[in-house]
Amino acid sequence: MLQYRAPLRDLQFLQQTWLDLNAHFQALGLVDYDSDLAQDILEQGAKFAQDVIAPLNQIGDEEGCLLQDGKVTTPGGFAQAYAQYIANGWNAMLGDVEYGGSALPYTMAVPIHECLNSANISWRLTTMLTESAILALTKHGTQKLKDTYLAKLISGEWTGTMNLTEPHAGTDLSLLSTKAESQVDGTYRISGTKIFITGGDHDWTDNIIHMVLARLSDAPPGVKGISLFLVPKMMVDKDGQLGSPNAVSVGSLEHKMGIKGSPTCVMHYDDAIGYLVGEENNGLACMFTMMNDARFQVGLEGLGTAEIAYQGSLAYACERLQSRSPSGPIEPSQKADPIIAQPDIKRMLLTQKSLAEGCRSMSLWYAKLMDIEKHGKPAEQLHASQVIAYLTPITKAFFTDIGSEAAHHGIQILGGHGYIREWGMEQLVRDNRIAQLYEGTNGIQAADLIGRKLTRSNGEYLQATHTELAGLVAKIQDLQLTAKAQQLLTDWYQTSKTLMGSSAKASASKAHDYLQYCGYQITGILWCSVLDVVREAERSPYMENKTHTGQFYLKYILPRAEHHKSLLTSAESVNEMPLDLFNLD
């Protein structure tokens, strides 16, 4: 079984020293926060993830969820852990103060989200979706809806869900057919079937608030005819008390590769009562306002997976005695050396580690931008939102891809035992695999990056991201690191600009490699920045470790950026094969 220990030292170094949290809070006028408070909260949140949530991960996989008499039961201990989570106020971390939330800066909350994902993606998911529902409701709900639902969603007394996908409409939401009929009392009646609904039902709370995309009978076709509705599982009366059940039911639980502790439901809405969120036919826009956040949050699943995969691999590699080091015995008194003495094992460990730590720095940088988007001056807000828009598909796809890679290295390091369920490593592959698919497949992220984010507003997002990265590079003191970072930055900027004139078809064929290129290249720039701060810090084993890890990234991992860049041209060859040649019969 995997033992998770929150990487407190690395999180704190990146948060406090590299990001310079105190300066960040001061710049934004966040006078209630400082690095001591951030450290205190991080330690508590990390401890909760590590001691309460992580031990449930394997149980969740083994037990799975159960649907009986229309009710879903989650694995043993999940509901109790949730009760403790909301009692401790963790669910309210990000919520508005007005509705009982703590409104923590993202730079304080995101490291805790990472830890929760390392601990147990299945368990974390329902709370993540609740945060998404809160966001949609906060930004687009009427005052009455907010007053009725927000406080209980923020406290965690109720949870939320997001209902987008239907059997025939996933990537392409224009095809969705769930119906909404407006009623004379201003409510709507919702009918249709939704699939892949995370937390569609469970035994954690008395009520569940579903955010449902549906189509009014007189709506225009396509994505401009989609509206967003709030559909509670249990009706809520004007005093906030639960009334009768709404016409919402669970059709079945999906049989999945992983995240078995998370109830993924087929949901039926049979003339269920719903409330409009935002304007009619503007539902997709409402959904998209929270998409950046949700996609980044899914990215954190990949980061969390990479970290725990590394930890499990390292523990095994230090304990497992097998063969001798190629440079002679290092444990002569033992029958064999620990396999960490094998360079190929070290290669995989350092790959996991340098990717996890590189993505961690990107997650904190992204969190900083989210703080600025929320609390900065208007011009800063606009700038931050543009950088975030550009980075979002990268964090989602790149982080989840490296999570998958790190977990596969984990299996490989454990050898045959990596394939055995009791060891917990193969579960990481299965659990993280969904993160490359939901909230838009990683192919959709790549299309979004090259097809929208890169070109939108004449490249303003690219420009903003360049400005932001150039600021980071300018702060680097070391000449070698400056030169390296500057070269990476220039190369990325020029490569990106060159792609802006591509046709839709050419862009679509290059999308995957462009996103991968950006992921590795930007992570390279961030590593240069981190290494520069490490260089100035007091020497310690941690700092030496960090130096080696970053140098390994620059030497051994970063060449992947060059590889993907070299494929940008040849990727167009996919368009040479006529479609009718695929099927020969």
Q: Which of residues 291-320 bind a second copy (CB under 8 A)?
A: 314, 318
Positions 493 through 552 that interact with a second copy (CB under 8 A): 503-505, 507-509, 511-512, 541-542, 544-545, 548-549, 551-552
From the list 179-187, 212-220, 294-302, 553-561, the region that binds a second copy by CB under 8 A is 553-561
3-state secondary structure of 584: coil
Q: At what angle do helices 504-536 and 343-375 cross, to 10 degrees?
A: 100
- Residue 567, interface with a second copy (CB under 8 A)? yes
| Closest CB to a second copy among residues 39, 165 | 165
Q: Which is nearer to a second copy, 73 or 165 (CB)?
A: 165
Q: What is the largest CA-CA distance in the chain?
A: 84
9 scored as a contact of a second copy (CB under 8 A): yes
User: Is the Cβ of residue 93 or residue 434 nearer to a second copy in the bound state?
Assistant: 434
Task: Give least dist CB 186 to a second copy, A.
Answer: 32
Please identify which residue in the block is written with the tokens 């606009």.
382
Distant-in-sequence, close-in-space partners of 387: CB < 8 Å, separation ≥ 6: 369, 461, 464, 465, 468
332 binds a second copy (CB under 8 A): no
Neighbours of 34 (CB within 10 A): 13
Query: Binding to a second copy by residue 568, rule CB under 8 A?
Result: no
Least distance from C-beta 406 to a second copy, angstroms?
A: 14
Residues 335-354 that bind a second copy (CB under 8 A): 335-336, 339-350
- Which member of 63, 439, 544, 562 is catalytic? 439
Q: Rule CB under 8 A: is residue 406 a binding residue for a second copy?
A: no
| 442 binds a second copy per the rule CB under 8 A | yes
Cβ-based nearer residue to a second copy, 32 or 544: 544
What angle separates helix 541-552 from helix 343-375, to the nearest 10 degrees?
A: 100
Cα gap 299→370, rounded to integer Å: 15
What DSSP string describes 61-122? HHH--EEETTEEEPPTTHHHHHHHHHHTTGGGSSS-GGGT-----HHHHHHHHHHHHHH-HH
Q: How far is the CB of 109 from a second copy (least distance, A)?
A: 25
- Pure H helices in 434-503: 442-448, 456-475, 479-499
- Is the Cβ–Cβ distance between 107 and 19 less than 8 Å? yes
Task: Please report how close the Cβ of residue 560 comes to a second copy at its closest, in angstroms.
Answer: 7
Segment holding 38, helix H or strand E: helix 35-48
User: Among residues 304, 299, 453, 292, which one has the least CA distance to residue 370?
Assistant: 292
Instruction: Give the C-alpha distances (Å, rounded to integers) separating 317 from 175, 412, 417, 515.
Output: 49, 11, 12, 32
Q: Which parts of 183-222 interact with a second copy (CB under 8 A)? A: 195-196
If one asks whether residue 333 binds a second copy (CB under 8 A), the answer comes out as no
Query: Among this protein's residues, is 98 annotated catalytic?
Result: no
**Nearest distance, CB of residue 248 and a second copy, angstroms:** 21
Q: Is 226 in the site for a second copy (CB under 8 A)?
A: no
Tokens 């992204």 sit on residue: 366
Residue 254 CB, nearest distance to a second copy (Å)? 6
Which of 47, 144, 475, 555 binds a second copy (CB under 8 A)? It is: 555
Determine, following the binding rule CB under 8 A, whether residue 447 of this chain makes contact with a second copy: yes
H or E, element range at 526: helix 504-536
Q: Which of 357, 373, 426, 448 binds a second copy (CB under 8 A)?
A: 426
Contact call for residue 446 and a second copy (CB under 8 A): yes
What is the smallest separation between the CB atom of 539 and a second copy, expressed in angstroms? Answer: 12
Tell the smallest beta-carbon distance from residue 540 to a second copy (Å). 9
Cβ atoms of residues 229 and 235 within 8 Å? no
Query: Which of residues 33 and 553 has its CB atom nearest to a second copy in the complex?
Result: 553
Could you identify the residue written with the tokens 């079937």? 193
Residues 125-184 that bind a second copy (CB under 8 A): 165, 168-172, 174-175
The set of residues, in sequence order, having a beta carbon less than 8 Å from that of 37 and lying 6+ positions away, is 108
- Under a CB-based contact definition with an 8 Å cutoff, are residues 248 and 269 in contact? yes
Size of the site for a second copy (CB under 8 A): 100
Q: What's the Cα-to-Cα distance from 333 to each of 236, 361, 371, rounded to whole Å?
A: 70, 41, 54
Residue 270 or 562: the one with the smaller Cβ distance to a second copy is 562
**Binding positions for a second copy, 28-87, rule CB under 8 A:** none
Question: Which residue lies nearer to a second copy by CB, 91 or 455?
Answer: 455
Catalytic residues: 439
